[in-house]
Amino acid sequence: MQHLEFGAAVRHLRENTAPAAVGLAPGGRRVRGLRREELGELAGMSADYVRRLEQGRSHPSAGVVNAIARALRAGRADYERLCALAGYAAAEGQVPTDLGPGATRLLERFADTPMVVSDAAMNVVAVNSAFLALEHWNLTGDRWQWNVAWRAFRDPFEAFKQSEADADDHEAVLVTQLRNSLLRYPADTALAAMVDDLRSTSRRFDALWRAPRPVAAYESSATFTQSDGDSVTLVGNLIAIPGDDLAAVMLTAAPGSADEARLAELVGASEGRAVVEVGRQEEQPVSRHGVRVQGRPVGQEVSREVSRADLG
C-alpha cells in the first residue's frame, strides 16, 4: 500500500510541476506538468523506472527519493511526505555552514600549512593566513565567487595552474561531491540553483554530471603564482571533517625542495597565524592582504571574519 501511495504522490508532483520551474521549455505539450522522461533525466534515472515507481512496482532507495524531490523542486513539506511514504527519515534541509570545533582545531594546528575549509556545497567557510599568503583567491563579483566548484568550472583562477591530468581529477572530485551533497540536502535551494547554473553554462560540468568519473584517492598538484611573479608548486590532499560535514584541502610542498623554501618564505611574511572565517561582515579594517577583518578569539588563536565580497 505504501508503494502505491508513494507512486501516486510522485505522479501528482510530476503532473503539477511547471516545466519552466525546473528549467525546461513549456511549449508543445499534450499533458500538464513534466513527462516521465523529463523527470528521469532531471533525477538521473530512466523513464521506465519512474513509471514503475509511480505504479508501485518498485521501492525507492533514500537516494532516489532525494533525487526525485530535488528534480521536482519539492518544498520541504512535500519532500518530508515522500520520505515518510518511502519509509525514510527526511535529510536535513540546508547544508550546514558553521565552522565547527574540529575544523577550527585543524586550521590552528597546521597554521604554517595553507589550508582551505569548505562546506558540503563547496562554499569556502574558512582559510588560514598561510593560504592567504599564496595570493590565490581573486574576486569576480558573482554570487558564487566563493564556491570552489563554480570557480573551477566557470571562472578558473589565473594564478592557479594544473596539469591536464590533475585538473581532470580535481573536476571529477568536485562534481562527485556536489552530487552526493544534493542527495543529502535535497531541500537546499541555493545548492540546487548553483548546480543548475553549472549544468546549463558549463559543458564540462554537465558531461561529468551525466557520467561521473570515480577518483580513487584525491591528491592534486597545482602551481600558485604570486604578484611578484614567483610561483610555488604544492600538492593538495582532501581531508574529510565528518562531524561538521566539512572538508579541508591541505597544501604541502615536497620536502627539501625549492617550493618548500618558497612556501616558508611566503608564510613567514604573512601576518599572524589567524583562522580566517568567510562571513558577511561589512566595513571592517583592511589587512595587508586586502582582507576586511574582525578580531574574535578562537581557542588560543585569533579568528578573522571576512566578507565573501571583500577577501582578495
> For position 119, what pLDDT does the model report?
93
> For position 49, what pLDDT does the model report?
95
Nine-digit cell string for 240:
574529510
Cα-Cα-Cα-Cα dihedral of 27, 33, 37, 40, to 10°?
130
Angle between helices 164-184 and 189-201 (to 10 degrees): 140
> For position 96, what pLDDT does the model report?
84
- Tens digit of pLDDT at every position of the chain (312 positions): 567 899 999 999 999 998 877 778 777 777 789 999 999 988 889 999 999 999 999 999 888 998 898 888 887 778 889 999 999 887 777 888 888 888 888 998 898 999 999 999 999 999 998 998 898 777 666 778 889 999 999 988 888 999 999 999 999 999 988 988 887 787 788 998 999 999 999 999 999 998 888 776 678 899 999 988 899 999 999 888 877 789 999 999 999 999 999 999 999 887 655 788 875 333 333 333 444 333 333 332 333 344 333 333
- CA-CA distance, 41 to 38, in Å (whole number)? 5
> For position 272, what pLDDT does the model report?
58
> For position 86, what pLDDT does the model report?
92
DSSP labels for 115-127? Answer: EEEEETT-BEEEE
> For position 280, what pLDDT does the model report?
37
Angle between helices 62-71 and 36-43 (to 10 degrees): 110
Cα-Cα-Cα-Cα dihedral of 117, 177, 153, 36, to 10°?
-150
DSSP H helical segments within the chain, as ranges?
2-15, 36-43, 47-54, 62-71, 76-86, 101-109, 129-132, 148-154, 164-184, 189-201, 203-210, 258-269
Residue with the three cell numbers 591530468 = 165
Say how many residues make up the chain. 312
In the chain the domains, ranked by start, together with CATH numbers, are 2-86 (1.10.260.40), 101-307 (3.30.450.180)
Each residue's pLDDT tens digit, 118-168: 999 999 999 998 998 898 777 666 778 889 999 999 988 888 999 999 999
Which class for 126: exposed (0-12), middle (13-18), buried (19 or more C-beta within 10 A)? Answer: buried
CA distances from 129 to 132, 133, 266, 293, 304 (A): 5, 6, 10, 12, 10
- CA-CA distance, 271 to 242, in Å (whole number)? 30
Which SS3 state, helix, strand or coil, does residue 232 take?
Answer: strand
Which SS3 state, helix, strand or coil, does residue 223 take?
Answer: strand
User: Which residue, 177, 133, 174, is CA-closest to 151?
Assistant: 174
Residue with the three cell numbers 505539450 = 29
- Per the confidence metrics, is the pTM higher than 0.75? no
> For position 71, what pLDDT does the model report?
85
The residues pairing with 276 across neighbouring beta strands, listed in sequence order, are 127, 304
CA 206 to chain centre: 15
Which SS3 state, helix, strand or coil, does residue 95 take?
Answer: coil
